[in-house]
Chain A
């Protein structure tokens, strides 16, 4: 069900009030000529003089917030900094990011978790899918089977010098990596070169396993 832009903004305000830890917005603050739409859709209820979100209203609001904040991230990337413009355009943009466009933008932006103001972006289906997939697939190099291929997801190394060494050996996030041996030390292939590393280093390299392993 489509609602007016004003109604949608009210829904977002309620959501952000909840985000800030309030139960809702007092009715007195919102005389609400647009509230009828929301009440019709059973997205909000009045409870002791306070507007509150219903479960379905909360979902709808989260989607709107998500569009808004994705729009902000997109604009911040494109406009590089003019804060007034970002806020301005984001308000308009959120009303056009429908029909899967939000998911495409979200994927394009790499499923950002925060807007430029540092607030959380409610995850969409695409993010949840990606996270579920990633959680299952990212593992330290030491957990791979010899012969398995993957992409470096991230590197966790306490010693900065060591991190630099790894980077120099071509081990960078996004790079492809293949585990060749797990004993007596770990041997992996990166590009056309092979490297031997010990367990300490191998366990700091997190790898996203490829679905098809050779």
Chain B
């Protein structure tokens, strides 16, 4: 019944910078379906189900960091759908939670779908109660029913509908179970009344009394008082707004201050007085009452197993977290990743595309055609020969970058969907504390090995500005992205000694720069907490679609840049600027002990370091081991690419972004020079 009219492609916001936010289709004028809920419960899967678009789905909390909008059709009726980052409660703590909550505060969804993890209904139902309290047209989606059933958790959805006074749909969305019924329910509540509570047909239109949380007298009194003190109109009920005020919600306080004007002082006084009557923060008191209300409601609805069976997945999970087995497992998975990306992708596939396809067929054919039909050498050089759009730009993009990025994203998708990353985060937390970060930062760091641009966006999930800046510096400096990593691995292939030294130097710089910047940037000590989702068997379909989407995004992002770079080089050569720039770089390159031709590669490297790396790759046979090592290390330290820089500007601001760049380029050459000098002094021959 649902056919998508959404553009299934990812529409980048600016310069393709936002691969992680997914589509952003204008949905104004359409009835809006808002998807909300805790992290990692399947909101994005539901978004994909309703719109037919694809936003990234993974098995760890915090995959979605931006709001995605899409269009879908329910029985021919067009609807707008908005997917939000996960939030645990209506009171936001982190930036992306605030974004999610503000959707409810500023827009008027015709239906609000609260997605919960069925097995953890008791923990998540308080949020449903808050949404009901806020007057939202809620439909409760009990997702992950398959996992709940496997554990022996049973939910009587009819009984739940009756006590809550809202409709409840049981689903297992990754397998498609319950999706059709959910669409029917959404449609019928849209048709009943697009803008009022989506009450269920079987019960009263108002939520049953049980669903209304009763707070202690002092809070109830304050709520009533605040409700009478407010005159503004809000998207949420006055009761809900008052509750958020009592819990010191800064965003809501600003909103109320703006709406109420002079009245706000009275509201503030009531809030202060109520808070003064409790020794604990009111958010804790309120959360307790909400939790107790939820438990009461669930007494007759939820059947929990007496004994828990230890599943195989739990044993594996245990093994990944125990350092004795976890570290060997980590090394093993890194080795497998290397075999797949570094050997199969970067060597076998690249060799095939580079030599068998471009080297033997495409390039000679193009150059032959050009020689025959194009009399002007300038045009010949534009398309073919050494730096042509096809022989250089297209060849780099397709023959060198594509196989590597493709294999990395494939492997990374499998890792992501298995739920391994949060376990890696807990394993490595202590090390990361030393460099001013916490285990949570593992996710952007590992993602950075895929694409530093994506990773820079994901640093949003970190709590403090200090952590966000620190991780951006480290990503920009010391985390090579898959494209670059692949080229590097190709370059160092067959030279395991060089590979090891390179890896050791990069790890050393990562830790050293982390240690020093953490010292230089004072701030709160980071703390670590993270939900560990169950280990899950990745669904081949999601892995495939995700890999495809990311590659498509990457290609869309990279390909034009490669073509533009080829054009710029062509223009530069034509006008002599290219040679000028190269001759300016040559002294620097010579100081590094490298052949003059590498200046070209470093020039490319200013646009994209993988592009530069590919330039070095072409020269690998003319360089000594020491030269390969020095050039690889220097290039790895470069700023990743123009796109990553623009995202840094967007996320961290001009000043920070410029400071990072001004630090990185001299630092990269300095380290390269130092390394060269050290190897020379020590007389090392590699």
A residues sitting closer than 8 Å to B (CB atoms) are 80-81, 155, 159-170, 172-175, 180-181, 183-185, 187, 190-198, 200-201
Q: A181-B321, A184-B426, A191-B120 are in contact. Are A169 and B281 (CB under 8 A)?
A: no
Q: Is the CB of A167 within 8 A of B283?
A: yes
Q: Is the CB of A169 within 8 A of B283?
A: no
Interface stretch, picked from B231-239, B347-355, B523-531, is B523-531
Q: Is the CB of A185 within 8 A of B93?
A: no
B331 to chain A, nearest CB (A): 16
CA distance A68 to B393 in the complex (A): 89
User: Contact partner of A172 among B151, B287, B422, B426, CB < 8 A?
Assistant: B287
Residue numbers in B under 8 Å from A197 (CB-CB): 527-530
Q: Is the CB of A198 within 8 A of B89?
A: no
Please name the residue on chain B nearest to A188 by beta carbon. B532
Residue numbers in A under 8 Å from B288 (CB-CB): 172-174
Residue numbers in B under 8 Å from A81 (CB-CB): 217
Q: Determine which residue in B148, B288, B292 has the highest number of CB atoms from chain A within 10 A of its CB, and name it.
A: B288
Q: Determine which residue in A80, A168, A170, A195 has the highest number of CB atoms from chain B within 10 A of its CB, and name it.
A: A168
B residues sitting closer than 8 Å to A (CB atoms) are 38, 88-89, 91, 93, 117, 119-120, 122-123, 148, 151, 153, 217, 248, 281, 283-284, 287-288, 291-292, 317-318, 321-323, 422, 425-427, 429-430, 433, 438-439, 463, 525, 527-533
A156 to chain B, nearest CB (A): 11
CA distance A191 to B123 in the complex (A): 7
User: Contact partner of B531 among A175, A183, A194, CB < 8 A?
Assistant: A194
User: Contact partner of A195 among B284, B323, B529, CB < 8 A?
Assistant: B529
User: Contact partner of B529 among A173, A183, A201, CB < 8 A?
Assistant: A201
Q: Is the CB of B532 within 8 A of A187?
A: yes
Q: Is the CB of B532 within 8 A of A184?
A: no
Q: Is the CB of B422 within 8 A of A196?
A: yes
A133 to chain B, nearest CB (A): 22
Please name the residue on chain A nearest to B287 by beta carbon. A167
Residue numbers in A under 8 Å from B430 (CB-CB): 184-185
Q: Is the CB of A165 within 8 A of B283?
A: no
Please name the residue on chain B nearest to A162 by beta carbon. B527
Q: A185-B439, A193-B123, A197-B529 are in contact. Are A161 and B93 (CB under 8 A)?
A: yes
Ordered nearest first, which 10 A-B pairs have the shortest CB separation?
Answer: A168-B88, A196-B426, A170-B123, A198-B528, A194-B532, A192-B119, A197-B529, A167-B287, A191-B123, A185-B426
Q: Is the CB of A184 within 8 A of B323?
A: yes
Other A-B pairs, 20, CB within 8 Å; known A167-B89, A169-B529:
A161-B93, A168-B38, A174-B288, A184-B323, A184-B427, A187-B321, A187-B426, A190-B123, A192-B117, A192-B120, A192-B151, A192-B153, A193-B531, A194-B317, A194-B532, A196-B422, A196-B439, A198-B527, A201-B527, A201-B529
CA distance A194 to B119 in the complex (A): 12
Q: Is the CB of B123 within 8 A of A163?
A: no
CA distance A193 to B122 in the complex (A): 11
